[in-house]
């Protein structure tokens, strides 16, 4: 339990699965009330139920982060329900079909950029306004190692995640003096449904992905959640504009 998080309010997007679910549960374990947002109602409700079952406070909000109206309504609901917003983890994302750049069609490009990049920008807009009105807050965006280095077969995804790193740094320097910190996590390959889709129908894929990390294994959603919650905590009070690789040494190789 982190005493400084007790009584605070956290929002996690894409919290119906994988990294977002782990972050939502960890915020709750540290005493924050958690708004669980996701496009997938079944997954989001399941996360919210897990948190309340464990003794925490949570509400599920269905939202597509690519739609401005959904994002505006999501933040309004968080504030209506809990009165404020202290921590935001902008995490919802999609990977798209893995294929060379020439095989990525316009519809796929548009959807990946809309969810992964515009979605983070829309969330930042409404979160920053609320945090400015309150006098502070902390935001963590989920980028990726694909936001730090090129990623063959994932041009739109890599472009979106490099964009998230740029947005993070810019928001951080614009709002630092208002008491709002903005950071990003850049996970390596993490055991989630997203990676299970990536490795489906390829028996060697997990071993190949493990070898891409100096630590020689994939990460867990809980390991990324620890970094997210630390970046939001007072222990990281002097950290802003940082893109933290949580990647078992992948980009160091």
Residues forming the site for ligand NAP (CB under 6 A): 13-14, 16-20, 38-40, 43, 63-66, 91-94, 115, 119, 142, 144, 187, 189-190, 192-195
Phi/psi of residue 87, nearest 5 degrees: -130, 135
Nearer CB in complex with ligand NAP: 1/152:
152
Q: How far is the CB of 117 from ligand NAP (least distance, A)?
A: 10
Phi/psi of residue 80, nearest 5 degrees: -65, -40
CA distances, 201 to each of 64, 155, 196 (Å): 29, 22, 10
Nearer CB in complex with ligand NAP: 67/132:
67
Catalytic residues: 157
Q: How far is the CB of 16 from ligand NAP (least distance, A)?
A: 4
Q: How far is the CB of 188 from ligand NAP (least distance, A)?
A: 6
Q: How far is the CB of 187 from ligand NAP (least distance, A)?
A: 4
Nearer CB in complex with ligand NAP: 137/187:
187
| One-character DSSP codes across 138-197 | EEEEE--GGGTS--TT-HHHHHHHHHHHHHHHHHHHHHGGGTEEEEEEEE-SBSSHHHHH
Nearer CB in complex with ligand NAP: 132/210:
210
What's the CA gap between 66 and 116, in Å, rounded? Answer: 8
Bridge partners (DSSP) listed for residue 243: 184
């Amino acid at each position: 339990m982190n005493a400084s998080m007790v009584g605070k309010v956290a929002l996690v997007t894409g919290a119906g699965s994988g990294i977002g679910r782990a972050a939502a549960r960890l915020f709750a374990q540290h005493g924050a009330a958690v708004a669980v947002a996701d496009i997938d109602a079944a997954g989001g409700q399941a996360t919210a139920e897990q948190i309340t079952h464990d003794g925490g406070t949570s509400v599920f909000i269905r939202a597509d982060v690519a739609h401005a109206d959904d994002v505006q309504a999501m933040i309004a609901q968080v504030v209506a329900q809990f009165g404020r917003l202290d921590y935001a983890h902008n995490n919802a994302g999609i990977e798209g079909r893995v294929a060379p750049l020439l095989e990525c069609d316009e519809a796929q490009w548009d959807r990946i950029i809309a969810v992964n990049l515009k979605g983070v920008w829309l969330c930042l807009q409404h979160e920053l306004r609320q945090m400015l009105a309150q006098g502070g807050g902390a935001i963590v965006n989920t980028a990726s190692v694909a936001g730090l280095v090129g990623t063959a077969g994932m041009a739109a995804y890599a472009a979106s995640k490099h964009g998230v790193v740029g947005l993070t740094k810019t928001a951080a320097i614009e709002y630092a003096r208002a008491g709002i910190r903005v950071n990003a996590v850049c996970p390596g390959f993490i055991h989630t449904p997203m990676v299970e889709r990536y490795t489906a129908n390829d028996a060697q894929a997990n071993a190949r992905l493990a070898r891409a990390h100096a630590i020689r294994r994939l990460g867990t959603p809980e390991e990324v959640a620890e970094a997210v919650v630390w970046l939001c905590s007072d222990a990281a009070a002097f950290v802003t504009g940082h893109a933290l690789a949580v990647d078992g040494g992948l980009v160091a190789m």
